[in-house]
Every structure is written in C-alpha cells, then in structure tokens.
C-alpha cells in the first residue's frame, strides 16, 4: 500500500493534516506493557507500551510504503518485459529480412558469374567485412545495374534497421534487469518489516494484549463518533443545497419554462447513466462484494487485495481505469474537500500517501487495512483525523 523509494507526488492536502502515530486495525491483538499510558521503560529493559506501540506502527507504515514501491516496480517490470519481447520479435523479423536481402545479392553475383559479366570486384564485395566499406567506392556502384543497386540499397536499409533494433533491445534488457532488482529489494523490505512487527507482537503477554485491545476499542468508538459528526454535517449541507434549488425553481415557473423543463428532464435522465454517481455506485457495489477477503501486500484480486489494488479493481468494475499505486492514484482525478466527499471518492492517508480507501458516505469507507486484516467497512478516522491526506474524485 501498493514497490528504491522514489519521490512521492505531493498531492493536494487537506488543510491542517499531519502524519498519524498509531497503527490501529493490526494492533487489536496487541497489549499494554504497563498499567498506564504514560508508563516509563521498565527496569528489565523491556520496551514500554509507548515504545512497542510506536515501533509496531512504524514497521507497518514502512511495510505499507515498501508495498507501494513493490507495486510500482512490479508494474514497471511487466511493461519493460513486454517491450523487450516486442523488440526481440522485431529483431528476429528484421534479421530474416536482412538474410533475404543478402541472398538477393548472392543471386545477382551468381548470375553475373554464369553470364561472364562478373568482375573480380564482385567477389571482393561479397567477401568484404562490411559491404558499405566497399560500396563507398563509386567505381563499383557505377557498374551495378538498376536491379542490383536496388538490392544493395535494400540490404543496407535492413542492416541499419536491424542494428538499431538490437541496440534498443539490449538497452531494454538492461532496464528490465534494474526493474527486477528494484522489485526484489522492495519485496525484501516488506518481508523484513512485517517479520519485525510480528516478532514484537509475539513477545506480549495475554494480559498486555487484553489491555491494548481495550485501548483499541476506545479508538474505534472515537473514530465512529467523528464519522457520525461528519455525516451530520454533510446531511445538513445537502439539505441546504436542496432548499436553495427548490427556491430557484419556484422563481422560474411559467408555461414555457415548464415545457422546457420536461424536455430538459428527459435529457438529464439519459445523461445520468454516465454520471459520476452511477459509476460510483458500481464501484461501491464491487467493493462491498469484496468485504471479508484478506489483505495481501501486492495483491490485486480476485481472492485478496492490498489497499490500492482494491480501489483500482473497484473503479475498473465501474469502467474507469485508474493507476495501480497510491502515489499515482492521488493525481488521477479532482481533489475535493473532506466536507464535500461523495460516495466513490478515494480517501488518501499519511504524508507519504501510502494508504487509500473508497468512501461510502456517512464518514465511512471500505478499505484493505494492512497485513493480518480483511477488507472491511471502517470510519475514515480509523487512524485519527490527522492521518487523512486528501480526497480525490476519480471520474
């Protein structure tokens, strides 16, 4: 969430938002290492609650970022492999054409020999390392017939084109190797971060896990409260918009406007099939049908997803192609304010734009949270208000 690190697109950021400090869904099985949230490190060198919580959060965030790097490298590798295959096919085709042009030159030389028209220059030409070196001598060029000249020109053309394509193929193979190295590096980074996080969590006692689960529950309750507050604000704004539209319509009443309105309504009805709301509904229907499927880093479905793999698949089901990774998805649409978010909009998280979910309304979203979790509905405030980076309308 999401493939070394490349520069991140800044995106348009919701005002007053910064990077959060807590990992939520993945920590439900984790616990307190002390009785209070302000406990200092224990004397036996075991980490405090704050240290474990922050370390695990940082590891999951780093794994999430590495996952997006992995996704980007994987996409680049696939494209480069396709280009290499195309170039190699082209080289093979041009090599065949070059061989055919060479055979045509050989037939011309043989014909000259049979008719006694061949000169020693012909043999010299055929044995030369590069025909161009010999044909630069204008004397021999003057002796060639029109057909022979055409065959020689064709040979030179095919030779030049083949050499160029071979060079392109060589360069593309080098780029492919670099992409594959980036892919392997990103994969190793993800695996290392997740392994470190699991090791930290495995050292907690049952009592500690229970205490931290209670803290997690309180966080979820606060996230739900803020989602309900946003839903109320959006409902009030929608009601006010409808009142204003109704007032404007009353001011335009007349027999002619009524006639025009009937025609306009028919036109609007046919256009609604391609409206954003219609597409968004399809994307949301797809997202809901994926609830319960596991998060797997680098996955794009149909059995599992990472965060950007889910949003890409959802909008593809609506007939809209968006990029693979969060860094690109954040720029694939129109940025809107959180207050104006509509169902189907993409909600991006964190300063480095490493997580994304699809908004379903009422302050809620569907997303693939992180390793060890499943696709689910959750408050957009699941990791705190400060974690929200921006909102983008992709279609």
Q: Which residue has the tokens 């014909």?
A: 111
What lies within 8 Å, CB to CB, of 44 at 6+ separation is none
Residue 370 and residue 1: Cα distance in Å, rounded? 8
Asked if 358 and 349 count as a contact pair (C-beta separation under 8 A), the reply is no
Q: Which residue has the tokens 């990472």?
A: 306
Residue from 76, 187, 293, 367 carrying the catalytic annotation: 367
- Count how many Cα atoms sit within 13 Å of the Cα of residue 363 in the half-sphere of its side chain: 20
Residue 183 and residue 78: Cα distance in Å, rounded? 11
What lies within 8 Å, CB to CB, of 252 at 6+ separation is none
Active site includes 367? yes
Asked if 220 and 382 count as a contact pair (C-beta separation under 8 A), the reply is yes
Residue from 215, 307, 360, 365 carrying the catalytic annotation: 307
Residue from 187, 355, 370, 389 carrying the catalytic annotation: 355
What lies within 8 Å, CB to CB, of 50 at 6+ separation is 37, 39
Helix (H) / strand (E) element for 329: namely helix 326-329
What lies within 8 Å, CB to CB, of 189 at 6+ separation is 4, 62, 63, 66, 69, 70
Could you list the active site residues?
307, 355, 367
């Amino acid at each position: 969430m999401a493939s070394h690190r490349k520069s991140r697109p800044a995106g348009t950021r919701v005002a007053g938002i910064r990077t959060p400090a807590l990992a939520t869904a993945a920590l439900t099985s984790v616990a307190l290492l002390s009785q209070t949230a302000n406990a200092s490190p224990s004397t036996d060198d075991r980490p405090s609650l704050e240290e474990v919580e922050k370390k695990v959060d940082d590891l999951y965030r780093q794994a999430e970022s590495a996952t997006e790097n992995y996704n980007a490298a994987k996409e680049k590798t696939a494209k480069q492999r396709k280009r290499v295959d195309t170039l190699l096919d082209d080289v093979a085709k041009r090599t065949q054409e070059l061989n055919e042009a060479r055979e045509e030159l050989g037939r011309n030389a043989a014909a000259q020999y049979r008719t006694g028209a061949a000169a020693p220059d012909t043999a010299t030409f055929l044995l030369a390392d590069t025909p161009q070196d010999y044909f630069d001598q204008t004397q021999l060029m003057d002796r060639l017939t029109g057909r022979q000249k055409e065959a020689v020109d064709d040979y030179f053309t095919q030779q030049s084109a083949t050499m160029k394509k071979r060079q392109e193929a060589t360069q593309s193979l080098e780029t492919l190797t670099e992409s594959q190295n980036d892919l392997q590096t990103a994969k190793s980074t993800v695996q290392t971060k997740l392994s470190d996080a699991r090791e930290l969590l495995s050292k907690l006692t049952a009592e500690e896990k229970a205490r931290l689960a209670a803290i997690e529950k309180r966080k979820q309750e606060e996230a739900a409260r803020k989602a309900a507050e946003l839903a109320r604000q959006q409902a009030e704004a929608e009601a006010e918009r409808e009142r204003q539209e109704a007032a404007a319509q009353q001011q335009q009443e007349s027999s002619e406007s009524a006639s025009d309105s009937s025609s306009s309504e028919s036109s609007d009805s046919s256009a609604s099939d391609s409206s954003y709301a219609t597409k968004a509904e399809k994307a949301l229907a797809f997202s809901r049908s994926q609830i319960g499927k596991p998060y797997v880093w680098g996955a794009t479905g149909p059995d599992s997803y990472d965060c950007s793999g889910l949003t890409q698949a959802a909008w593809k089901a609506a007939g809209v192609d968006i990029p693979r990774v969060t860094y690109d998805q954040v720029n694939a649409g129109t940025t809107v304010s959180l207050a104006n978010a509509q169902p189907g909009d993409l909600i991006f998280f964190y300063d480095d734009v490493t997580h994304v979910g699809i908004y379903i309304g009422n302050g809620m979203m569907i997303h693939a949270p992180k390793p060890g979790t499943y696709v689910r509905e959750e408050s957009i405030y699941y990791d705190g208000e400060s974690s929200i980076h921006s909102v983008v309308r992709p279609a």
